[in-house]
Each structure stands twice: as C-alpha cells, then as structure tokens.
C-alpha cells in the first residue's frame, strides 16, 4: 500500500532543511520516496490528512512489559503492540518478567514469532541468569543468535557481584548489552516507598536513595574492571545521575534510562495510600525529579522509558504494603514529555535508544525505510479508564489533563492509522 502524508510539520533536528517545515511525504512499498512542498497522490495511494499533523522519526521504548507468556490476563503481546502503535512507538524492547522467563533461544524465538505482523516491532530481551534467579548465567549467546537484543533479570537486582562480572566478561564475545537493576534490597527489606518525610508521616517502610546509589557504584566498579556494555534502567535519584555522568567521563561504556513517572510525580502523591503510585524504584523527592528532568534533556540520561507494566486490578487494590509495584506508561509518555519539554525535545528524547541495542536508527529522509510517528502536540485530553487501550488500568495519570497525543505510526508497509 502506498501512502501520502499531506501537510505535516516535520520534527527532526537532524534534518535542518526540513525541521519545523510543512511537507508532503510519499511512501511507496515501505520506503520514503519523496518529501516535498506539494506531492500529488497517484493511483492506489492512500492520503493521510489529519488536524495539526506533525511527523517525527519513530519513537522507541527500552523497557516494556506485557504478560505473555504466563500472565496473558494482564496484557497479551498482540494487544500490547497495538497499544504501543497507537501511542506512537514503532519499536519496543520487551522485558523478561514473564512465566517462564525467557532464558533459552526457544523462548526468544517464541516471542519474536508472536510479535510478527504488527505495526510496532518487538525486540525481546533474555534473562541474565537462568530463571532470573541470580544464580547461574543463562544461555546468553544462543539467545543473542536468536534475536535477543539485551539481557536483563528485569527488576530482580543482580545481588551476586560475580554473576555481573561474568556476564559483562562473557557478553563481550558477541557485543551484547547487560542490564543491572539498581537496588540493594538488603538495605531496604520490605520497603514500600521512598524513605523520607512522607514515608515517616505515613508509617510505611522506606527505600532510601542509598539502596540505588550503592548498587550503581558497585556495578560501575565491576564495569571498570571487566569492560563490556552496561545499562542501568530507571534511575531515580540526583546522586545516581552524578555517578553515571562521572563514569561516562572516565570512558566507561554505560548507559541509563529514566521512567516517565519519575519526571512528573514525587512521593507526595502517596499521601492517600493510592497503590497506583507504587513503583520500583519508588517515586522520589522534588530535588531528584528536577535533576532527572535536566539530565534527560542534556543527554546524561541516555533515554526515557514508559516502564509500562500492566497489572491485574487484584494486584493493585490491596493494602498498600501488599500491593504490587508497577504502572502503565505507553499511552501517557508523549503527553507527559510534551508538557515538560515541548514537542521538539519530547520527540527527540522518544527517538533515542536504538543504537544502544544495535538497531538501525529511524531516519526521516528520502530513500529510507518508513518508520514514522504521527502526532498532534496541541491535542488536550484527560486520560480515563475507559479511554485506555491497555487491558489493565493501573495508570498513575488517570484524571490528569495532558497535552499532546499520537495519531499512530507508519513502519514499512504497516500502519496503525
């Protein structure tokens, strides 16, 4: 199917001659054939004309959870990829919190096959350890050959330092990326939220910033010793930013991400014991949130993630200390970032990350494969449970006015619009 996008404002700072210009974009057989002021539609060409249409290179998310296999009631891969496409993401990296955990090449093949045929590309991760139990290395090389783009035990911290050392050494043989979740659980047994004034007032066990910062310092020391490629997902404190910035200056191959909810909320929203705001890492204080916003804009934090984690209502509607950690994020991402940074910076941030996983960058240029996000940065709406496309409803942003909404995506010959 050929497509002609009409009168779209292009948002792409890497293309100075096109950035912020209104142009038509012709796509034939999945390739961008032409970008011009006025292009006439040929036969068998579908014309896309939308209100206040903006187009950018396709957005990418490095930490997305669905439920399949094992927890399909939370979200199937099929429905999750439809949610991602409607939210503007042309590619997502799938987390390993499934049952069973993907720790063999067969598991990776299953995930890739299940994700085929959708507008959004699915890139699976494999676990670092067998069963994500932190004891012995998984079949990392075989999984890499089958299409795993990185290795992560999701939010199970790699408590055994020797396991991380071995993983970083071993994966250098095939240039793979290792995730290490930044939390030392022994410093916060049964912790429920950020340790501070609010946790003391509510009488909830706290998770101090020290749990994250000590683990990052340890992991960076191991990385300096071994070499390799390390990714630290969803950092949440100002000191974590400083540690990673210093490591990068020293030449270590380390990257990090931040979740959208850590840019928007602070621990003050937990005054009502609402478990929708219960996440790991926990929501921190204002100083941390501001530091994270600044570091993301400056590139010290490499990329943002929705940290999308659908959960059953039964897992959230419990006493706060019994409720599960996690929140939705795909459908909220652009609206949040657009209000913090504006559409130009928000689109640039959402486009980051592919290179770190060895994936081709999305490029908005003639001759390139079409991988585009279409959106309206001025669209105003209030997210409701009824408007969510996700089959779970555990969003922090329900009832909050947002500005900026994706129309959908075009990737190759597939489109969600």
End-to-end CA distance of the chain: 13
- Dump strand ranges (E) for 273-370: 303-305
Which residues touch 132 (CB under 8 Å, ≥6 apart)?
A: 96, 97, 101, 103, 153, 154, 156
> In 3D, which of 72, 64, 182, 80 has the Cα closest to residue 123?
64
The pLDDT of residue 43: 86
pLDDT digits (tens, 9 = 90+) for 364-385: 999 999 999 999 999 999 999 9
Mean pLDDT of 192-203: 97
pLDDT digits (tens, 9 = 90+) for 389-407: 999 999 999 999 999 999 9
Classified as helix, coil or strand, 62 is strand
User: Does the pLDDT of residue 295 top 90, yes or no?
Assistant: yes
CA dist 302 → 92, 123, 143, 298 (Å): 16, 19, 25, 9
The pLDDT of residue 195: 97
User: Does the pLDDT of residue 233 top 90, yes or no?
Assistant: yes
pLDDT digits (tens, 9 = 90+) for 259-286: 999 999 999 999 999 999 999 999 999 9
Specify whether 307 is catalytic.
Answer: yes
User: Does the pLDDT of residue 415 top 90, yes or no?
Assistant: yes
The pLDDT of residue 234: 98
Residue 218: pLDDT band (50, 70, 90) is: very high
User: Does the pLDDT of residue 196 top 90, yes or no?
Assistant: yes
Q: How far apart are CA 144 and CA 178, in angstroms?
A: 12
The pLDDT of residue 22: 98
**354-375: buried (b, 16+ CB within 10 Å) or exposed (e) per residue?**
bebbeeeebbbeeeebbbbbbb
Instruction: Please state, for a pLDDT cut of 70, what percent of the chain lies above it.
Output: 100
Options 61, 103, 184, 307, the catalytic residue: 307
The pLDDT of residue 1: 79
The pLDDT of residue 251: 98
- Write the Ramachandran bin of 134: left for phi over 0, alpha for psi from -120 to 50, otherwise beta: left
User: Does the pLDDT of residue 227 top 90, yes or no?
Assistant: yes
Classified as helix, coil or strand, 232 is strand
pTM: 0.97
pLDDT digits (tens, 9 = 90+) for 60-114: 999 999 999 999 999 999 999 999 999 999 999 999 999 999 999 999 999 999 9
The pLDDT of residue 231: 98
CA dist 256 → 27, 299, 324, 327, 344 (Å): 34, 10, 24, 20, 22
Domains annotated for the chain, with CATH where assigned, are 2-54+366-415 (2.30.40.10), 58-357 (3.20.20.140)
Task: For residue 308, give the DSSP letter.
Answer: B
The pLDDT of residue 15: 93
Residue 249: pLDDT band (50, 70, 90) is: very high
User: Does the pLDDT of residue 42 top 90, yes or no?
Assistant: no
pLDDT digits (tens, 9 = 90+) for 309-342: 999 999 999 999 999 999 999 999 999 999 999 9
Classified as helix, coil or strand, 302 is coil
The pLDDT of residue 333: 98
Which residues touch 139 (CB under 8 Å, ≥6 apart)?
A: 103, 104, 105, 126
Residue at token pair 């998310």: 61
Mean pLDDT of 243-258: 98
User: Average model confidence (pLDDT) for the chain?
Assistant: 97
* CB neighbours of residue 231 within 10 Å: 23
């Amino acid at each position: 199917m050929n497509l002609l996008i009409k009168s779209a404002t292009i948002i792409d700072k890497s293309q100075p001659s096109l950035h912020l210009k209104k142009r038509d974009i012709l796509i034939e057989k999945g390739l961008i054939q032409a970008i011009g002021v006025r292009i006439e539609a040929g036969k068998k060409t579908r014309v896309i004309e939308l209100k206040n249409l903006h187009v950018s290179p396709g957005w990418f998310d490095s930490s997305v959870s669905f439920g399949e296999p094992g927890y399909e009631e939370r979200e199937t891969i099929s429905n999750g990829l439809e949610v991602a496409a409607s939210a503007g993401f042309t590619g997502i990296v799938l987390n390993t919190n499934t049952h069973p955990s993907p720790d063999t090449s067969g598991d990776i093949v299953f995930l890739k096959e299940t994700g085929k045929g959708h507008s959004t590309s699915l890139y699976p991760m494999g676990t670092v350890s067998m069963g994500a139990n932190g004891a012995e290395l998984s079949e990392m090389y075989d999984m890499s050959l089958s299409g795993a783009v990185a290795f992560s035990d999701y939010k199970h911290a790699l408590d055994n330092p020797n396991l991380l050392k071995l993983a970083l050494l071993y994966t250098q043989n095939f240039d793979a990326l290792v995730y290490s979740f930044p939390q030392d659980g022994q410093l916060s047994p049964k912790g429920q939220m950020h340790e501070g004034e609010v946790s003391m007032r509510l009488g909830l066990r706290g998770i101090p910033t020290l749990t994250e910062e000590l683990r990052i310092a340890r992991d960076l020391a191991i990385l300096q010793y071994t070499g390799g490629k390390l990714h630290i997902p969803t950092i949440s404190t100002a000191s974590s930013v400083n540690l990673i910035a210093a490591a990068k200056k020293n030449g270590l191959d380390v990257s990090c991400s931040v979740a959208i909810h850590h840019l928007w909320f602070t621990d003050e929203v937990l005054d009502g014991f609402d478990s929708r705001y219960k996440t790991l890492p926990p929501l921190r204080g204002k100083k941390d949130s501001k530091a994270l916003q600044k570091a993301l804009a400056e590139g010290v934090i490499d990329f943002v993630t929705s940290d999308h984690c659908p959960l059953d209502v039964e897992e959230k509607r419990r006493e706060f200390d019994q409720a599960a950690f996690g929140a939705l994020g795909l459908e909220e991402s652009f609206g949040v970032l657009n209000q913090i940074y504006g559409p130009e910076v928000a689109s640039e941030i959402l486009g980051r990350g592919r290179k770190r996983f060895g994936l081709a960058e999305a490029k908005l240029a003639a001759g390139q494969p079409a991988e585009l996000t279409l959106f309206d940065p001025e669209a105003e709406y209030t997210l409701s449970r009824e408007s969510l496309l996700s089959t779970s409803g555990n969003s922090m942003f329900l009832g909050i006015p947002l500005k900026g909404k994706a129309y959908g995506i075009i990737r190759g010959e597939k489109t969600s619009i």
